[in-house]
C-alpha cells in the first residue's frame, strides 16, 4: 500500500534546523526526494550529504525567503533537477516577541518579511508549476499564535493569523487545479525559534517556557506526513496541535 509520500519531490524552506530539518529527515526516510532551502548553506549541505549517503535524492539550495528571486530559484532548481514539484512546505519563520511599547520596528519588519512575505514568495514560486501539472500540495506553517494572541506576541501572532488567512484564500482559489493545501499550527515545539527573540528578559521567559513545555520537532514532521499521506482526493486543510500540557 502506497504512503503517498514515496517518490514525491518536496521543497522545504527553513530546512537547516528544527521543524524543517525534522521534516526533511522523516519524508526522506519515507521515500521522498527533498530540496532544502535555508540561509545556512553549511547546515543544509551537511544534511543533504548525510541523506544522500544513505541513498535517495536530496538537494541543497541557499535561500533567504525574504528575497522572491531566491525562493523562485529554489523551486526552479527542484523542477530542473527532478522534473516537477509535488509539495512545498513554507516553513521558514521568526518569533522575536516583545511588547509593542518597546518599538522594536526592525524586528517587526523582519517578522513580516519572513513570516508573511516568505510564505507568499513560496506560493508564487510553486503555484505556476502546480497549475501546469494539475497537481501539488502547498503546506504553510502558522502557529498556535495564529489562533490565540498574548502580551508580547502581537506582531508574531499577526503574521501567523495572516498565514491562516492566506492559506484559506489559497485553498478556495486552487480548486480548479487539483492542488491540495494544508496549514499547520504548532504549539511549543523544540526548535531554534526562541533564539530570534532580541529582548533579553522576554527571551529568558520564553526559553524557560520551552524548556518546560516543548515537544520534539518530529511531532511537526509527523503532522506533515499525515497530511501528505492521505489519498489525493482527501485534502487535510488545517492541523492545530500542542504539547498535551500546554494550556494556551
Do 74 and 61 form a contact (C-beta atoms < 8 A)?
yes
Confidence bin at 2 (pLDDT 50/70/90): confident
Q: What are the cell numbers at 161?
A: 493569523
Query: Which pairs from 52-57 meet CB under 8 Å and 24+ separation?
Result: 56/28, 56/31, 57/33, 57/82
Among 13-22, 63-72, 190-199, the minimum mean pLDDT is found in 190-199
- 156 carries an active-site annotation: yes
Task: Tell me the per-residue pLDDT of 142-169, one tens digit each, with 9 for 90 and over.
Answer: 999 999 999 999 999 999 999 999 999 9
pLDDT of amino acid 55: 81
Task: Tell me the per-residue pLDDT of 88-142, one tens digit each, with 9 for 90 and over.
Answer: 999 999 999 999 999 999 999 999 999 999 999 999 999 999 999 999 999 999 9
The reported pTM is 0.96
Say if residue 1's pLDDT is above 60: no
Pairing of strands 33-38, 9-13: parallel
| Average pLDDT over every residue of 68-86 | 98
Is the domain spanning 9-241 CATH 3.40.50.2000? The answer is no
Percent of the chain residues topping a pLDDT of 90:
92
Classify 136 as helix, strand or coil. Answer: strand
96 contacts: CB under 8 Å, gap ≥ 6: 104, 107, 110, 111, 156, 196, 197, 198, 199
**Domain definitions of the chain by residue range:** 9-241
Q: Residues 121, 156, 177, 210: which is the catalytic one?
A: 156
Amino acid at each position: 500500500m502506497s504512503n503517498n509520500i514515496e517518490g514525491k519531490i518536496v521543497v522545504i524552506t527553513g530546512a537547516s534546523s528544527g521543524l524543517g530539518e525534522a521534516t526533511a529527515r522523516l519524508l526522506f526516510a519515507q521515500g521522498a526526494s527533498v530540496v532544502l532551502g535555508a540561509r545556512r548553506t553549511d547546515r543544509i549541505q551537511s544534511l543533504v550529504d548525510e541523506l544522500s549517503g544513505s541513498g535517495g535524492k536530496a538537494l541543497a539550495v541557499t535561500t533567504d525567503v525574504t528575497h522572491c528571486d531566491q525562493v523562485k530559484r529554489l523551486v526552479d532548481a527542484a523542477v530542473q533537477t527532478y522534473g516537477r514539484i509535488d509539495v512545498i512546505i513554507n516553513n521558514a519563520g521568526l518569533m522575536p516577541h516583545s511588547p509593542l511599547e518597546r518599538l522594536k520596528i526592525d524586528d517587526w519588519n523582519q517578522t513580516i518579511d519572513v513570516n508573511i512575505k516568505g510564505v507568499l514568495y513560496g506560493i508564487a514560486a510553486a503555484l505556476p508549476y502546480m497549475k501546469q501539472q494539475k497537481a501539488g500540495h502547498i503546506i504553510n506553517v502558522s502557529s498556535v499564535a495564529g489562533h490565540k494572541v498574548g502580551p508580547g506576541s502581537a506582531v508574531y501572532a499577526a503574521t501567523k493569523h495572516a498565514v491562516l488567512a492566506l492559506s484559506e484564500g489559497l485553498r478556495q482559489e486552487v480548486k480548479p487545479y487539483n492542488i491540495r493545501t494544508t496549514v499547520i499550527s504548532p504549539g511549543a515545539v523544540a526548535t531554534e525559534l526562541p533564539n530570534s527573540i532580541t529582548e533579553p528578559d522576554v527571551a529568558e521567559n520564553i526559553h524557560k517556557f520551552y524548556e518546560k513545555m516543548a515537544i520534539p520537532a518530529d511531532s511537526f514532521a509527523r503532522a506533515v506526513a499525515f497530511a501528505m499521506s492521505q489519498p489525493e482526493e482527501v485534502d487535510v486543510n488545517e492541523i492545530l496541535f500542542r504539547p498535551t500540557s500546554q494550556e494556551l
